[in-house]
Structure 1
Amino acid sequence: MSLDLLSRLKKYIHDEENSDLDSIYAECENAGLTAVVNDVIDTLLLGTSSCFDEDCLEKLFAICSHFADLSSSVRNKVYDLLTSNISSESAILEDMISANATDFTVPQTNLETTGIAFQLTVNSLSSSNQLSVIRSSTNTVKGRKKNPTTNSNWNGISHVNALLDAIITLFQKKLSRVWTTSSERDMFLSLFLKPIYTLMESEINIKNASFRSRLFNIIGLAVQFHNHTTAAETNIIQNLQYFEHLSEYAADLVHIVTVQFNSVTLAEGIIRTLCSLEFNDNDVKGPKQVALFLVRLSSLIPNLCLKQLTQLVKLLDSESYTLRCAIIEVLANVVIDQIHDEAQNEMSESVPATVQSLMDLLSERLLDISPYCRTKVLHVFIKIFDLPIKYPRKRQEIAELVIRCLQDRSSHVRRNAIKLFSKLLTTHPFSVMHNGLLTRNIWEKGLSIIEEQLNSLQPKQQEKVVDSELEVDENLLEDATMIQDDESHEGESHLENSLSEYVDSVPAEEIVKVNLTKRFYLEALQYIDIVEAGAKIISQLLFAKNKSEVIESMDFFVFCNSFGISSSKLYIKKMIHLIWVKGTSDEGNNIQNHVLSCYKTLFFEPPPNSGTNEAANYIARNLISLTYDASLAELTSLEQMLCILMKDGYFSHLVITKLWQVYSYQKKDISRTQRRGSIIVIGMLALGNTDVVMQGLDHLIQIGLGPPGLEDLVLARYTCIAIKRIGKDASGSSNINFPNSHTLCQKLCMLLLRPSFSEEWFGLEEQAIEAIYAVAKHPDELCTNIILLLTKQLFKPSNHENTTSNDDHAMDEDLDDSPEEETLKDEEEIGIRLAHLIFLVGHVAIKQLVYIEYCEAEFKRRKADAERLAVQNSNNPINGQETSEYDLITGTSEDDFSEAMTFIRERELLYGENSLLSRFAPLVVELCSNHKSHNNQSLLLAASLTLSKFMCLSNNFCMEHLPLLITILEKCDNPIIRNNLVIGLADLTVCFNHFIDEISEYLYRRLMDEESSVKKTCFMTLAFLILAGQIKVKGQLGIMARSLEDEDARISDLARMFFTDFAAKDNSVYNNFIDIFSVLSRSAEEQDEDDAKFKRIIRFLTSFIEKERHTKQLAERLAARLDRCKTQRQWDHVVYALSLLPHKADNIQKLIDDGYHE
């Protein structure tokens, strides 16, 4: 029976609503599907030598069209039947082809019938969302809902694989002998290939390696032997755009067809078609799928992509950044392949032409409008330069481009630029010399040696001749004479012989070698220049808003340090300030932890295989070195870091012992900075554990408070700082108190009583007083005795008479030399000693205030504890307990005690008849009022500072002498005094906020001080007070905003940090923007400043206004000012501010379009 394939296809495949098959299937169901299937199997297997029975085929087609409704066992039987039919008919077909038969009707018809049945089964599964032939919890195509009523648990992979193997065998036959026309052959092939492409739509199916391999082999055979290239190209491109999971698998398919089946036509055709596709602006899925396919394909067959590069680069002009990113990665894969090919041959210093052009093309994309594309370029360069290639000149070119990317406006680009810069550093091409270090001094010294060596190899006689010829003006010389005499000919011959002999004596190869070495050194120094330039920019990213940038920057400087970059130490010191970064999320903690990790790697992790003692020496030595040449800010940050590490128990007891050994070593003189560094570190570690200081208390008394400390006041000062840590732990609570008679307390007193004229004495006095108040049980009594003794020493009859000697003759001998000079010396000495006394009294006053507050808090705490214990032990009284001073006043209420403390502070300390401080208050006021009479800057400095501290004690004293303090602040020429008084005013603001706020304008004036240090101090002070809510912001924010463009980078950086924090507090920038704008605009016009500064400030401030509601309201408020502008410049300022706000109001735009009208 002849089967018309086309009519069968129309009837059973193309007709979606085939009622005949439905009715036949219903009859089969009534008769029992299993029985019907068995009958069909028996009938078809017995009739393989002839065409299949029509009735039997109708039943088979009906069952296959409802394949999704069948049970698993029935499905397996159906697929076993199809497999058997294909295998048997393929064998028959092979025999007939071998026998050169001409009539293939029977196997041809049976195979077509089997193909229709196979396609019907797959179509049924597809329409029921059951394409997966592997049992899984989710047997659905991505994006479709699972139908719970269908049989989705069929695990028929083995049966389907057997069927696919049979199809592979079939496709290996010479089917062109059977289906002679291309249309017939294509129609037959489609019976098997369409289901194959449909089965690929299931993500679960395609993930199975063995199943996927069979599908790809079938398609590969069809392309190789049966002219399926065009149809395969169409199917692959269609599937790419509809099924997300097929992108990379489609590339694998094309790779297999190209490599295993020797057909490049399919890949080339697909690339050409994809490069000519146009996507809608809203189409995101299509470009993404194409991009994944091209990237995967380029990684599998880069040589083919290189040949199709003219087509691929067209996509670089696509509006889709996804496609541009894909082509960038394609170019990178091609470059990597080319480099691998070159490496298999011979590594060269020069860049091959193909690689050069491709890398140039990649470099151009660093100017892409999309930050994603720029980032992708940096990513691929990281992959390229991770390969074992040198290309030093190309590396330098890329490094210079990366420096530009470090300043990109996108944080994503900047972060990846740091990564690439780190990769360029870690894989630099100059590792063959100097152990891979890039320390400038080493390379410059090596270059000088090479140049000397090269000069020594130059032919000296030739140099002389050449030098003499260079000295002659060639315009004076005539042409050579045609006839020469014998003498001249002999002279010329002699010169040539002598030069040739000398040149022969110099090894030419050595000269070439030295020249190449010199070139190597010059390239290395150029590379170091680029690295240092990049490091300078990266250092600015250490405090970026994006936390990932900060972490990458820190890692970069760790790399720099390991390669010996000279400037890395400076930036590592700067990096330590990140220890203060806090965050409610994990980002803040990550930065702090990363700083700790970096410093551990750099300083606290000893070399491998180090012994315990060597490791402790290494850590202790590095800890001390961190204090060398460190600023106050750096020491403060280091203190915070070491405190955290100490609380975590990071440093061993042996390390601390080593620090004490350095501090207490006296057998021979050691470096002062090293001894100082040891006690600095000990004091820092004591913040985390006070036992660190207690461990070496005797050393503190013998060294810091003994002769070495008296010789080195800085050492004594840091010793006092360490002693303070005994009295207060990390939480600030009281820890240990020594009686006043203790050796430590007495040594501190003796230290303060010792006269000194060093400038370091002020700092020592301050820390010694704080140490006394920290560790002494009754610090006020000790300080009273110190002040009385110092006063007696200062105001005794003779300044030259020793307190323990009455040798007047020695004094008379000293006075005999020069009475006038001695008088001047006495006055200077008295002024310095009086300054020391006044400074000490002022600091005692402020510490006494703190001590009173501590006593008040301690009283309240003990009273609360006593009341709690009284309730607990009301029925069990405890006798025999020691009674303290606080226990004697347990009957006193907290309010009464607080009022008593307030009275002492306000009326007793500075006004009491028996108060020691009250005796000095008039003297301090007098020294400040008549400072021009004595003209002693040290005395004025101490007196003004003490005056501000006295004012913190009493409200009345503050109100009385505030004008004097402001007068000194306004008129004093000494910037140090102005600095101190700015801080003093800030302290007064905290103490007496109710009336100091009225004179805050005097603080703001210091923002325009001629001395940058005063401006910096003032800005820091105001920033603290504003952020802490101590002073109200009025119209002065505009003055602070001008600091954003200050010439001093430290001040401008502080201003940026302040406004960043200020903007986070209740929309503060938005609320005060109009006032800031008015001040800046008026100031720019009055002082005739460049509008560029004004614009930069306004642009920075508007970046904090992000809410659409605020943007709209601010735009309306600014637009209302346009009609009130009196000058063109004012109008331009408002328009510029409006241009920075993304408003969409037509009325505002109309006002701007109308322009300025007088």
Structure 2
Amino acid sequence: MEEFALSEELEKLQEENYYLKTLANLREADLIQISRELQSCLEKVEEDPQNIFNTQLFARLKSITKKFSNLKPPQISQLINIIITGLATECENTSGDLQANDDQTFDSHRQALNMWSFLLGWATYLAENKAQSKQNQKETGEFTSRSGRRGKERNNEPSQWNWDEQRKATLTVMVNVLKLNLESIWVMKQELETFVGIFTKTVFLILESPLNIKDQSTKMHLFEILAISTKNYKQTFAIKTSILQHLRYYEHMPEPTAELLGYLHNKYTYTQLTDDILMEIGDADLSVQDKTGPKQFSKFLVRLSEVAASLVLRQLVHVMKHMDSPVGPMRVAVIEITGNLIEHLANRDEQTESDKETLNNLFNILKQRSLDLNGFVRAKVMQACIKICDLKAKFPKARQHLVDRAIQCLKDKSVIVRKYAIQALAKFIRTHPFGMVYGGELRSQPWKDGLAKINEDSSSIEPPEELSHITQESPPSSPLADAQSSRPSSPSPISSNVSPEYYEKLNLTKRYYADALRFIESLSTAIPTLFQLLDSINKSEVIETMEFFVAAYQYKLDRAEEGLTKMLHLIWSRETDEGKSVKKKLIECYQNVYISTGEGAAEIERVEQTVRNLVRLADTTSVAKLTSLEELFSTMMSTELISPEVIERLWTVYAASNSQTSAKERRGAMMVLASLAKAKKEIISEKLNVLRNIGLSSAGRQDLVLARYTCIALQRLAGEAKIKGSPRDESTRLPVSHPIFEDLRNILEIHTNSNQWYPLAEQAINAIYVLCNNPDILCGEIIKQKTIFVFKLDDDSFRDEPSTSEPVTVNTTQLSQLLFIVGHVTLKQLVHLETIEAEWKRRKQSGETKDKNHVEDELDQIVGTTEDEFSEMITQIREYELLYGANSLLGEFGGLVAKICANRKVFNDNMLQFSATLALAKFMCVSSQYCETYLPLLFNVLEKSNDDTLRCNIIIALGDLVVLFNNIIDPEINVLYELLADESLEIKRNALMVLTHLILNGMIKTRGQLGEMAKCVADENSRISNLAGQFFTELAKKENAVYNNLPDIISNLSRGENAVDEDSFKRIMKFLFRFIEKDKHSENVIEKLCQRFKNLDDKRQWRDIAYCLSQLQYKHDGSVRRLVEGFPNYQDKLQDTDVLKHFREIVNKLKARKEQSTEMKQFIEEYEAKVKACEVTS
């Protein structure tokens, strides 16, 4: 038999036209003949696999394999089955002869194995390519998109070839062959390497498809073949080369490759291949331009550190070479690897000194790289911290350093870094190592007291002689003991009558307390920054900050509850997908903290705890946050998070006697119930008698705050409005004779000097107007009776007294209360008229039959039934009847309130002035005539008053007046803008909020005043700057709003008496220029700014304009051309160092642009040369 030259045959196979002499003996189209030939071959193979030596048999199999692409599925399956059978049988026979050491048969076995393996490798290659081609066609839809009969036939053709199963059989036989003692059969190593190479190349071919390695059995066979080839047959170099190539070019390969190396290590304890690969990657010169290598290598290294961390540790020096790589993904990978290695070392049962040193170095890497220039690297450091927190070993010393780094990262410019820093801090809290004392709570005071007591005890103890040689510098025995390395300094020895054990325990305890306090104090420094992050425009970090405060509250960290309170405004998050997630998270946080408490306790105990939490929350929430808290409670009620048992218990608290509950608890219970009733008014309607007997009875008279919340609860009976000004259900209105109104009237007529009466009166009047079917009649009677009481009149002289010239002495408190009632009734009557109009129109549109006794029907008879006629009639009533009508009750007070406001020195009672001014502003909302007459007076009070609360109310009133009487107020609108520079923070904030509302809703036009709003962006107070930032963010959503006003803003901020300092100017411009996104806008802004240089001599303005130009992005060629075209306008200005600096920045931006044409590159280079020439001159 002629020797089969495997190497030569493999080389020939690479040729496109692999020549076979016997090919002519097979007819291509005769598939029946091929099937017969295959059957004949199978019979001979089953008889003896060494029949392959028969030249004709071998030639036939090669010929049929050559025709692989023309075979039908059954024939392909038959061909591969023959080859597998032949090789498997030959393998079994060879194994038997090897065991018998029958060396006479080795040559024939070698020859047969060569021939069968050649055929199997070739057939596998063809089968794999065919299967991959079919998969590609399936993914691209080629089969289903083909038209015509041929396509349909192929689609419907039954498949009788299952390559997935035959692939497993192929790999199984390959594994069995490689497990033979092949070195006994092959004398020449080179020939053996060629033989084994058939199998390894087949493996790498199969690995090219990600689908193949999804099957666990297939993957294990592939790993086994490579592992045996590497360990037993010295294929390390060839396999390393193939692995590195596959890593670069196949996206799915990093993870399987790492798992292969782990498999090789775990089963065969072979590490050379891994070492070589890691050294190769470590020495690789990767560049930013390489888009695949770094990404693939980083995935591989990370996965390897997860499945075989010890292998990475062996070559850590090479891996760490990429710590300073210019390629970001590699540095990110190194950080993740660092975290995995720390986890691996921490979980070892015993740690050597080398392990401890490695751990210290790894922690140092994390600390250093928290300052990396790449934001993703810094973020990965924070993620590593999160992972380390879950370890059983706590590493107190290193942990504290990481906490400090995380706190620094809260102010990072990158959102993703801040997000993971917040996550890390929350994780540090939840996994802190100080749970042995105080139940793990982190309230600082107990820890301070405990440390003080320990210091007191230790100061009276002298170290025992046995420990006198120990110093503070003694190194800890393990990473877990680094908290034990400190010793007390300078003790004041009084007694040495203690054991060494007690002394050591005392010192450890002292260190424990000191470490805990440092941890607590570090977290405390982060709280103010976290408060600010609750207002971030990035919702993901807002959600993480909320989660932090929940964790902080659960562990009783100082100011944690303050953080929960500051979260309340997030209930108003916009109804976008992101907004919903914030709102949902807020509800979840409050549910976890205040409702889902007492897990494992009895139901009654959980209800009690929930009620206590809700009542305390309502009682401690500031007035500014109460509206948000009400909305939160209402939302929780609508989502059924508040159980009926909790509601019933709240009523019990409200109705309890003074001996059973405190005033605060009763108030809190009513606040919560009133809030919940916004979502379900039956909560109140079913307990109306309880409200009357408690809040509107003697208890309410003694506690005006309780009465006020009772009045708020009553308003819930009207439900929420369907449309503005219209109640949800008209049937909830009650007749004037209903006893509830007598209770409300009595509450209003309480004789008291308490300032709590005013908010009570406001809510009582509100309740009357939403519940009474004739609120004007009832309130008119209340005003009359109050006036008679204040001025000591009788019914007959009521109309004459307010206008008499004779002096009258009255109680200022009672007069103040009267004016407050008059003012608020005036405003509510205006709203009532709007309600009547809206309800009338609604009924007209719906064709609803109205009650013939209702006021709308009376009005129909008077003015007709058209909408315009009705609206005109309502306007006439408001404008001329409420204040100027012949029988107007309210009009009797119009002159009085103006007189009091105008004579502040005569009427110098602060509360009287407050009530009169509010009444004046409310009167002005009713009539344009009254508004125009007394507007100068209102402005005078705004300017002269020292009461910030009063001034804030005037500002809010001015906002309403702009909406109602724009033509009167608009000419004086600058007054509001001037208040943005007021010394009072509250005045500034209210002015900013009112202007924001008016501008964004299109109620006023801006005429160059936006510069004043822009100044607030750089305000020292974060609340003001955040509000201003939100304003411009919303304004930018309107068509070209920021762009159109930008020139005026720059002028306002850069020159004149009101110009801001340069640092503030830069801060403002940096913020505003991010809204200039359109290419055309950028071009126009550049052109206008360059023109401004032309006639400027002020160097400050040079610098300002240059800075503005540096804030643009120059993404479009047109922007670059505008800049260069304007060069003559600013060429001489480049002599200024700061101006030149800004233009250097611009040049760097131009050079960094991506995908530039050759022409544009040359254009930019020429411009750079011009700038450099000016630099030399300068």
Counterpart CA distance in 1 for 2:877 and 2:105 is 125
Is 1:1131 aligned to 2:1088, yes or no?
Answer: no
The match for 1:107 is: 109
User: Are the counterparts in 2 of residues 216 and 253 from structure 1 also a CA contact under 8 Å?
Assistant: yes
Task: Determine the structure 2 residue equivalent to 1:618.
Answer: 609
Structure-1 separation of matches of 2:391 and 2:649: 45
**For the structure 1 residues 216 and 610, does the alpha-carbon distance in structure 2 shift closer, same or farther, using more than 3 Å as the test?**
closer
Q: In the alignment, is residue 850 of structure 1 matched against residue 865 of structure 2? A: no
Cα distance, 1:26–1:1006 mapped onto 2, change above 3 Å: same
Matches within 5 A, 1:476-875: 503=495, 505-584=497-576, 586-666=577-657, 668=659, 670-729=661-720, 731=722, 732-733=727-728, 734=730, 736-796=732-792, 830-865=811-846, 867=847
Give the direction of change, closer, same or farther, for the CA distance of 1:260–1:670 in structure 2 (3 Å limit): closer
Partner of 1:125: 127
In our comparison, the structure showing a higher alpha carbon Rg is 1
Equivalent pairs, count: 1072
- 1:1113 is displaced (CA, Å) by 2.4
For 1:212-249, what per-residue CA distance to the aligned partner results, in whole angstroms no more than 9, with x for missing partners? 32232222222222221111111222222222223222
Matched, 1:193 2:200: yes
User: What is the letter of the counterpart of residue 115 of structure 2?
Assistant: T
Write the deviation string for residues 820-868 of structure 1: whole angstroms up to 9, x where unpaired. Answer: xxxxxx9996233222222221111111111222222333334445x46
Matching residue's letter, 2:75: V
Aligned counterparts of 2:42 and 2:693: Cα–Cα separation in 1: 107
d(CA) in 1 for partners of 2:960, 2:492: 86
**Residue 332 of structure 1 contacts residue 384 of structure 1 at CA under 8 Å; is this kept in 2?**
yes
Distance across 1 between alignment mates of 2:383 and 2:493: 58
Residue 265 of structure 1 deviates from its aligned partner by 1.4
Deviation sequence 1:511-561 (CA, Å, 0-9, x none): 332222111111100000112223332222222222211111111111111
Q: 1:582 to 1:319 in 2, by over 3 A?
A: same
Q: Is the 8 A contact 1:581 1:588 kept in 2?
A: yes
- The equivalences for 1:249-260 within 5 A come to 249-260=256-267
- Which residue identity is paired with 1:411? V
Q: Which amino acid aligns with 1:531?
A: L
Q: C-alpha separation between the residues in 1 aligned to 2:651 and 2:338?
A: 61
Q: In the TM superposition, what is the alpha-carbon distance from 1:50 to its structure 2 partner?
A: 7.5
Partner of 2:865: 893
Q: Cα distance, 1:268 vs. partner?
A: 1.1
Q: 2:690 corresponds to which letter in structure 1?
A: H
Tell me the secondary structure at the aligned position of residue 659 of structure 2: coil
- Distance in 1, matches of 2:567 and 2:536, equals 12
Contact 1:663 1:678 in 2 (8 A): yes
Partner of 2:438: 434
The residue that corresponds to 1:179 in the other structure is 186
Cα distance, 1:900–1:166 mapped onto 2, change above 3 Å: closer
8 Å CA contact retained: 1:431, 1:437: yes
Instruction: Say if 1:104 and 1:576 are closer, same or farther in 2 by CA, change over 3 A.
Output: same
* Superposition deviation, residue 394 in structure 1: 0.9
In the alignment, structure 1 segments of 5+ residues that lack a partner are 461-498, 804-825, 871-880
Residue type at the aligned position of 1:691? E
In 1, the alpha carbon distance for the partners of 2:809 and 2:753 equals 10
TM-score for both structures, normalised by structure 1? 0.87
CA distance in 2, matches of 1:41, 1:934: 120
1:1148 and 2:1129 equivalent? no
Question: What is the distance in 2 between the residues matched to 1:859 and 1:197?
Answer: 81
Instruction: Give the letter aligned to residue 618 of structure 2.
Output: T
In the TM superposition, 1:1090-1101 aligns within 5 A as 1090-1101=1061-1072
Aligned position for 2:487: none
Q: CA deviation at 1:164?
A: 3.6
- Matches of 1:1101 and 1:392 in 2, distance apart? 45
Q: 1:157 to 1:647 in 2, by over 3 A?
A: closer
Is the contact between residue 165 and residue 214 of structure 1 (CA under 8 Å) also seen in structure 2?
yes
d(CA) in 2 for partners of 1:833, 1:1053: 42
Distance 1:48 1:1120 in 2: 92
Report sequence identity in percent.
34
CA contact (8 A) 2:52 2:115 kept: no
Counterpart position of 1:964? 937
Residue equivalent to 1:473: none
Deviation at 1:575, TM superposition (A): 0.8
Shift of 1:654: 3.2
Partner residue in 2 for 1:58: 59
Distance in 2 between residues matched to 1:199 and 1:728, nearest whole Å: 69
Over 3 Å counting, the alpha-carbon distance change for 1:259 and 1:748 in structure 2 is closer
TM-aligned CA deviation for residue 571 of structure 1: 0.3
Tell me the TM-score normalised to structure 2 length.
Answer: 0.85
Query: Does the 8 A contact of 2:598 with 2:605 survive in 1?
Result: no
Q: Deviations over 1:904-947 (max 9, x none)?
A: 21112222221112221122222222333333333222222212
Shift of 1:378: 2.0
- Pick the aligned partner of 2:1007 from 1034, 1043, 1047: 1034
Tell me how far 1:869 sits from its aligned partner: 5.7
Name the residue aligned to 1:488.
none
Moved more, 1125-1134 or 777-786: 777-786
Q: 2:533, 2:542 within 8 Å by CA — same for their partners in 1?
A: yes
> Against the structure 1 CA distance between its residues 515 and 864, is the aligned structure 2 distance closer, same or farther, given a 3 Å change threshold?
same
Going from structure 1 to structure 2, the CA distance change for 1:182 and 1:772 (only over 3 Å counts) comes to same
1:882–1:21 CA distance, 2 compared to 1 (3 A): farther
Match of 2:227 in 1: 220
1:1140, distance to aligned residue in structure 2 (A) = 0.8
Q: For 1:755-784, what per-residue CA distance to the aligned partner results, in whole angstroms no more than 9, with x for missing partners? A: 322222322222222222222222212222
Alignment of 1:117-156 (within 5 A): 117-126=119-128, 128-130=129-131, 138=135, 154-156=161-163
In the TM superposition, what is the alpha-carbon distance from 1:355 to its structure 2 partner? 0.9
Does residue 1044 in structure 1 map to residue 1017 in structure 2? yes
User: 2:952 aligned with 1:979, yes or no?
Assistant: yes
Measured in 2, the distance between the counterparts of 1:7 and 1:511 equals 79
Decide whether aligned partners of structure 1 residues 696 and 1034 sit closer, same or farther in structure 2, where only a CA change above 3 A counts: same
Cα distance, 1:157 vs structure 2: 4.7
Partner of residue 252 from structure 2, selected from 245, 248, 267:
245
Judging changes above 3 Å, is the alpha-carbon distance between structure 1 residues 1055 and 735 closer, same or farther for their aligned structure 2 residues?
farther
Question: What is the CA-CA distance between 1:1117 and the residue it aligns to?
Answer: 2.1
Contact (CA 8 Å) 2:1087, 2:1123: kept in 1 or not?
yes
Comparing 663-672 with 846-855, which one deviates more in the overlay?
663-672
Q: Partner of 2:20 in structure 1? A: 20
For each residue in 1:240-295, what CA deviation from the matched residue of structure 2 results, as whole angstroms up to 9, or x when unmatched? 22222232222222223333233221111122222233456444233322222222
What is the CA–CA distance in structure 1 between the aligned matches of 2:973 and 2:233, rounded to whole Å? 92
Q: How far does residue 26 in structure 1 lie from its aligned partner after superposition?
A: 4.1
Unaligned runs of 5+ in 2: 465-490, 799-806, 1137-1178
Cα offset, 1:621, TM superposition: 1.8
Asked if structure 1 preserves the Cα contact closer than 8 Å seen for 2:460 and 2:492, the reply is: no
How far, CA to CA, are the matches of 1:139 and 1:863 in structure 2? 66
Provide the C-alpha distance between the structure 2 equivalents of 1:223 and 1:863, rounded to a whole number of angstroms.
90
Paired with 1:160 and 1:650, the residues of 2 have a C-alpha distance of: 57
State the partner residue of 2:390.
Answer: 386
Conserved? CA contact 1:2–1:109, under 8 Å: no
Please, what is the CA RMSD of the aligned residues? 3.2
Q: 1:595, CA displacement in angstroms?
A: 0.9
Contact kept, 8 Å, 1:41 with 1:81, in 2: the verdict is: yes
SS of alignment partner, residue 746 of structure 2? helix
